[in-house]
Amino acid sequence: MVGLKHFFKVGWSVPVLMLVLVLAVAGPVAGQMQRFPKPEFESGYEQPDTVTPEPRSTAMEWLDVTLLVAVMGAGAWMVLRKRSRQGVLWLSLFTLLYFGFYRDGCICAVGSLQNVVLSFADPTYTISVTVLLFFLLPLIFSLFFGRVFCGSACPLGAIQDLVIIRPLSMPAWLRHTLGIIPYIYLALAVLFAATGTDFLICRYDPFVGIFRMDAPHLMAILGIAFLLMGLFIARPYCRFLCPYGVLLKWTSKVSKWHMTITPAECIRCKLCTTSCPFDAIDYPTDPKVIKGSREGARKFLLYAVLIPVWVAAGGFVGYKSHTWLSKAHPEVYLAELLITRPEVKNDPDNIDVQTFLSSGKTMEQLVEEATLVRAKFRTGSTLAGAFIGLVIALTLLGQVTFRRNSDYVPNRGDCFSCGRCQDYCPVDRKMPVTTPVIPTKTIQS
DSSP per-residue letters across 44-109: S--PPPP--PPPPPHHHHHHHHHHHHHHHHHHHHIIIII--HHHHHHHHHHHIIIIIIITTT-S-H
pLDDT of residue 269: 87
Give the mean model confidence (pLDDT) for residues 381-406: 89
54 three-state secondary structure: coil
pLDDT at 30 over 70: no
Whole-number Cα distances in Å, 286 to 2, 174, 319, 415, 421: 18, 21, 43, 21, 22
pLDDT of residue 434: 42
Report the Cα–Cα distance between both ends of the chain, in Å, rounded: 20
**Under 8 Å between Cβ of 335 and 367:** yes
- Of the ranges 51-55, 138-142, 256-260, the best mean pLDDT one: 138-142
pLDDT of residue 348: 85
- State how far the Cα of 184 lies from the Cα of 25, in Å rounded to an integer: 10
- Selected residue with higher pLDDT from 105 and 53: 105
pLDDT of residue 294: 67
Give the mean model confidence (pLDDT) for residues 320-345: 92
- Selected residue with higher pLDDT from 270 and 380: 380
pLDDT of residue 412: 92
Q: Which residues contact 247 (CB under 8 A, 6 or more apart)?
A: 113, 139, 186
pLDDT at 93 over 90: yes
pLDDT at 23 over 60: no
| pLDDT class of 216 with cuts at 50, 70, 90 | confident
- Selected residue with higher pLDDT from 424 and 182: 182
pLDDT of residue 401: 74
Give the mean model confidence (pLDDT) for residues 105-114: 92
- Selected residue with higher pLDDT from 288 and 421: 421
Hey, what amino acid is at 257? W
Q: Which residues contact 444 (CB under 8 A, 6 or more apart)?
A: 283, 286, 288, 289
DSSP string, 386-404: HHHHHHHHHHHHHTT----
What residue ranges do the domains of the chain occupy?
61-285+409-424, 303-398
pLDDT of residue 349: 84
Whole-number Cα distances in Å, 78 to 54, 59, 124, 151, 356: 37, 28, 42, 11, 56
pLDDT at 85 over 70: yes
Give helix 307-326 / helix 13-30 axis angle, nearest 10°: 20
Quote the longest CA-to-CA distance of the chain. Answer: 88
409 three-state secondary structure: strand
- Selected residue with higher pLDDT from 372 and 42: 372
- State how far the Cα of 412 lies from the Cα of 429, in Å rounded to an integer: 22
| pLDDT class of 328 with cuts at 50, 70, 90 | very high
pLDDT at 292 over 90: no
pLDDT of residue 270: 85
| Bridge partners, residue 239, by sequence | none
Backbone dihedral angles phi then psi of residue 282, each to the nearest 5 degrees: -85, 135
| pLDDT class of 88 with cuts at 50, 70, 90 | very high
Give the mean model confidence (pLDDT) for residues 289-317: 84
pLDDT at 146 over 60: yes
In this predicted model, what pLDDT tens digit does every residue of 419-442 receive, in sequence order? 999 988 888 755 554 444 444 343
Residue among 308, 299, 309, 313 at smallest CA distance from 396: 299
Kindly report the pTM of this predicted structure: 0.82
pLDDT of residue 398: 85
In this predicted model, what pLDDT tens digit does every residue of 236-287 receive, in sequence order? 999 999 999 999 999 999 999 999 998 888 888 888 888 999 999 988 876 6
**Under 8 Å between Cβ of 405 and 262:** no
